[in-house]
Structures are given as C-alpha cells and as structure tokens.
Amino acid sequence: MAIRIFVTALTLAGLLALSSCNVGGQGPKFSIISGSENTVLQPIVEEFCKEKKASCSFAYEGTLDIGLALQSEQGVEQDAVWPASGVWVDMFDAKRRVKSLTSVAQMPVILGVRKSKAQALGWVGKRVYMKDILAAVKSGSLKFLMTSATQSNSGASAYLAMLSSALGNKPVIEPGDLDKPDVQNAVRSLLAGVERSSGSSGWLADLYTEAAGKGVLYDAMWNYEAILKETNDKLTGMGKEPLYAIYPADGVVVADSPIGFVDHGRGQEVETFFNQLVDYLRSAPVQKRIADTGRRIPLSDIAAKPDAAWNFAPTRIVTAVRMPEPAMIRQALDLYQVALRKPSLTALCLDFSGSMAGKGEEQLQAAMHFLFNPGETGKVLAQWTPADRIMVIPFDANVRTTIEATGRLDQQKTLVERVSSQHAGGGTDMYACASKALDWMKSTQELSSYLPAIVIMTDGKSDDANGNFMSRWASVSPHVPIFGITFGDADKRQLDALAQETSARVFDGRGDLVSAFRAVRGYN
C-alpha cells in the first residue's frame, strides 16, 4: 500500500470557477487547479499572491477530472494541482508531471448525523462501528448523503473505509479480497443507504444546508471533518440542529491535501514562486489559520477549537485506514461502479428541436455514443450496470417517443441505435419531456431503492412556461432532482430555476457535451 501519505478534501465534478488576485504587478502569473474543498483556503493564497505582486487564478474541478487531465496527452494547463488526496496523483500521473507534492493539512472523512437522529440511534457519546451504521441502514433508520466514490475523494474515502471494515480491517487489501461475496454484500448493503449522491464534496454540503433551510432534513452525510465544521457553522447561523460527528471506530480514510508543481517550461521564476507558496502555507501562522478551518495539522499542537456539542474533536486520534496500492484502488472503484453502488434510475431528455440541426445534432449523437459505450465510460468510471434503469426521451415541441432500457450491454446498444434515427426539427418544450419522465418514475415500484434523476439537454428556451409542473414534481416521492445540460444558446434561466427548485445543478455542455454528460453521472 505504498502511496504518498498526504491529506485533504476533493471534488466538484464538472464545475469550473475562476477567480483572480492582483492582476498585473511584478510577480509571475500563476494558476492552480484544485478540489472544491479548498475554496475556503483560496483567500489565504490570494494574500500571498498580493504580497508577491503575482497574478493568481484558481480553477475548481472534481477529483476524477484532475486525474484525467494529468493522464491526458496535454496534461493540466495550470502551474499547480491541489487535489484532496495524493492517491489520485499516484493513480493517474503516469508521466510524473507533478513535482514536489507536499501535504498542507489532513482531513479524515467521517459521518455527520443529524443530532436528534444520532440520539435516537443511541450513538451520542458512544463508540460507533461500521457494523452499527450497517444495522441502522438495514433497519431503515438511517439514510445519508455521499459523493460518488468514482468521482469524488470523500466518496472514495468513505467507500474504502466500508471495504476495510468488511474485510476485518486487514492491513493490506490483496487480489481476491474484493471477490468475496460476504464483503460485497456488506458494502452493497451500506451503499443502499445513499439518499443523494454528487460529484463534489462542497456541493453535497451545500445541498444539506440549503435543504435544511427549506425544511427538508436529511439524516446524515459522509464528508470531510472540516467540511462538517463549515456545514455546522452555517446550520448554527440558521438556527438548525447540527450534524453530530461520528468517527467510525474501525477506521477512517484521511485525506492529505497535497499541492504539487507542474512545470510548463515558463522559467525558474514560476517554480520559485511555487516553492515560496508551499513554505508560506506550511509556516506556523498560516498553519494556524488553516487549522481554524477544521483541518488537521499533523505533528503539531496546532488545532481548531473542539466542540463537544456536535462531537467535533480535531485532536482526537483516529484509526487511519491504510490506503491500498493504486492498482487495487482502481479495482475497488470499478467494483463500486459496476456492482456495489445503489442503482440509477435515469431519464434523459434530449432536445431534437430545429435549432439543433447540424453541429448540435452531431454532438448530441456523439455524446450518446459515448454514454452508452462501456469501453469509453469504463475509462472514466461512469459505467452503467444491468441494475440501472434508463429512459431516453427525444423531444421537440412534444415528446417524440420513449425508449426504456437497463444498463445491459445489448440494451445500451439498442439505445444508441434508436437515438441515431432521431433528427432535428420542430419547437422546444422541455417541460413536456420532464413530465413524461416524472410519470415513468412515479410508476416505478420501490422508487426509493434507486437514485433517480432527470437530465435535460437543451439548446433553447422552452416554448411553454413552467405552468403546474412543480406541483406535479412535488407529488413524486422521493423527490427527483432535475439536472440541466446547456448547449448552444440555451436559456440557462429556465434550467437554473428547475435545478434550484429540485436541488440539482446545471452543467455547461457548450464546450464539451460528452464531458457534461459524464459529469452528471457522478450525481446519479
């Protein structure tokens, strides 16, 4: 299990946010691609950039996106990478582009349980094991939010801790261990407790707090200890009950938040700036500021103030799960995607209106060829399984047809063939398509045993207004998130409104439609 022992938080699949500090000046231009969990640390970096009169920018991407960029022929465009964990650099940076990878802080991934729920389960003040969490899930007493293990470091960490517990906390996961039926059954049963998923740890935390503001109370959330602190700070400000921190006694995975340099041949000045930035981030005053965010500073007495009210104990010694070798991690993630995760129930609303003629139609067809090609989706850990259920709904001003399938290989092929016969023409009514998708989901038996989602890809404003759609949406339980993928001149306001009202998000498919469809898979 030789892997760089660093630690930090990761993810924001598909979202790219840029911000700059002190444009112009005498210092270099310097760019960082980072996981979403580091947004709280960005102001600290910006202060250093200002001091050095450098022009700095941040791009936020998900774990897998950063890894895939490192693996690609082009590599990352930025001067530094700052993922949640060095594991992903080890897995994907085959060309060893990243230099001087250095841990900035540590964050264990733990379970935050709504305090009244933790009290009802008898977990307050008690040592809780993964078997206790499994028993609560099996009894129907506990559901939780968790990011996708194949898209986000926090989800992967929670999943690997589940695997470690199911294997009896073996010091090393060996070939053959993942094939054991009892291990698979235990982890599959735990993952059945997932109520909402995402490709981003930060987005998942926002989902929890925004839902609480609407009066929707989720039971629990797997996330970084520091992200739970940020979440509870918000909840307290809202007058809502906090999440009670559960540190599974049989082990947790700790993220190491490493920052590394990528040399693009821009001269020694850029590398010198990076080294100075690392020294700054690891200096005692700055480490104290980083610790105040809830992150752990190893081998020091610097720590955030504990809070017994929600069991926050940043100096508590945790049992750290030893990370497997990269090849075993990849095998474990494939197993998660194809056999253990909660099945998806996905409706894809595909806009074939007249404005999609030409390039739009070509790119949409190419996206479908990717989405239903296991050889391609397997490369980015976005495969479908036979347990997944899929409905593809081509639409213009009306629903043209509905094509239902599972994730079986032959049925994926049929989906591609059926969609290939569709051609652009007519107006646009995405609400008609979304209503058809809702009807399908409402008629699905045991809907709660799936992760449902409606995905609308459109390039134009819907001809019809929202109307009574939201009242129809509210009648379906559990509620179904409606994700949007923009294309061309899409009226993003309508998609944003649907996403906001249904606790979902909108992805930008204008530059790369295939990547947008892949990103949304992390939320379903």
Handedness of CA 444, 492, 214, 204 (dihedral sign): positive
Tokens at residue 272, please?
């010198």
Return the ∠ at Cα 106 (arms to 60 and 112), rounded to 5°: 85
Q: How many CB atoms neighbour CB 46 within 10 A?
A: 18
CATH of range 18-106+256-300; options 3.30.56.10, 3.90.950.10, 3.40.190.10, 3.40.710.10: 3.40.190.10
**R_g over Cα of the chain:** 23
**CB 74 within 8 Å of CB 253:** no
Rounded to whole angstroms, the Cα distance separating 520 from 522 reads: 5
Contacts of 487 (CB under 8 A, 6+ apart): 351, 356, 360, 363, 364, 457, 458, 459, 509, 510, 513
Assigned token pair, 118? 């933790």
CA-closest candidate to residue 365, choices 356, 378, 374, 354: 356
d(CA 389, CA 406): 4
Do residues 434 and 498 touch, judged by C-beta distance below 8 A? Answer: yes
Domain with CATH 3.40.50.410 in the chain: 343-521
Count CB atoms within 10 A of the CB of residue 180: 12
Q: Write down the pLDDT at residue 171.
A: 84
Looking at residue 469, its pLDDT comes to: 87
User: Tokens in use for 439?
Assistant: 């009807």
284/279 Cα distance (integer angstroms):
10
Return the SS3 of 212.
helix
How far is the first Cα of the chain from the last one, in angstroms, to the nearest whole number?
A: 30
**Amino acid letter, 487:** F
Measure Cα distances from 456 to 303, 321, 391, 474, 488 in Å.
45, 40, 12, 18, 14
Phi, psi dihedral angles at 246 (to 5 degrees): -110, 120
What pLDDT is stored for residue 466 in this prediction? 66
Distance CA 333, CA 381 (A): 8
Reduce the DSSP state of residue 220 to 3 states and report it: strand
Residues of the chain with CATH 3.40.190.10: 18-106+256-300, 108-254
Q: Do 446 and 477 contact (CB within 8 A), yes or no? A: no
CB-count exposure of residue 436 (10 Å: 0-12, 13-18, 19+): buried
Strand pairing class (344-351; 243-246):
unpaired
**Pairing status of strand 194-196 against strand 144-145:** parallel
Length of the chain: 524
Compute mean pLDDT per 10 residues along the chain, 524 residues long, and list them: 34 34 67 94 97 95 87 93 94 94 97 98 98 98 97 95 95 90 98 96 96 95 98 97 97 96 95 98 97 95 96 95 91 95 97 90 91 91 95 96 96 96 93 95 93 92 74 90 88 89 92 84 90
d(CA 367, CA 234): 39
Tell the CATH topology of 108-254: D-Maltodextrin-Binding Protein; domain 2 (3.40.190)
Q: Kindly report the backbone phi and psi dihedral angles of residue 14, in degrees, each rounded to the nearest multiple of 5, phi listed first.
A: 90, -25
Q: What is the DSSP annotation of 346-393?
A: EEEEEE--GGGTTHHHHHHHHHHHHHT-HHHHGGGT----TT-EEEEE
pTM for the model: 0.91
**Domain spanning 343-521: CATH superfamily:** von Willebrand factor, type A domain (3.40.50.410)
Strand, coil or helix: what is 487?
Answer: coil
Beta bridge partners of 453: 346
d(CA 497, CA 503) in angstroms, rounded, equals 10
Nearest CA among 44, 55, 84, 107 for reference residue 280: 44
* pLDDT value at residue 513: 80
Q: Which residue has the tokens 């199911």?
A: 166
Q: CA 90, CA 347: separation in Å to the nearest integer? A: 35
| pLDDT for residue 70 | 94
In degrees rounded to 5, what are phi and psi of residue 474? -65, -20
Q: Which amino acid is at 285?
A: P
Angle of the 42-51 helix axis to the 268-281 helix axis, nearest 10? 130
| DSSP secondary structure, 53-75, as one string | T-EEEEEE--HHHHHHHHHSSS-
Helix (H) or strand (E) holding 495: helix 492-501
The answer, yes or no, to whether the previous bond of 478 is cis (omega within 30 of 0) is yes
350 close to 341: Cβ distance less than 8 angstroms: no
Give the DSSP H/E element, type plus range, for residue 229. Answer: helix 225-237
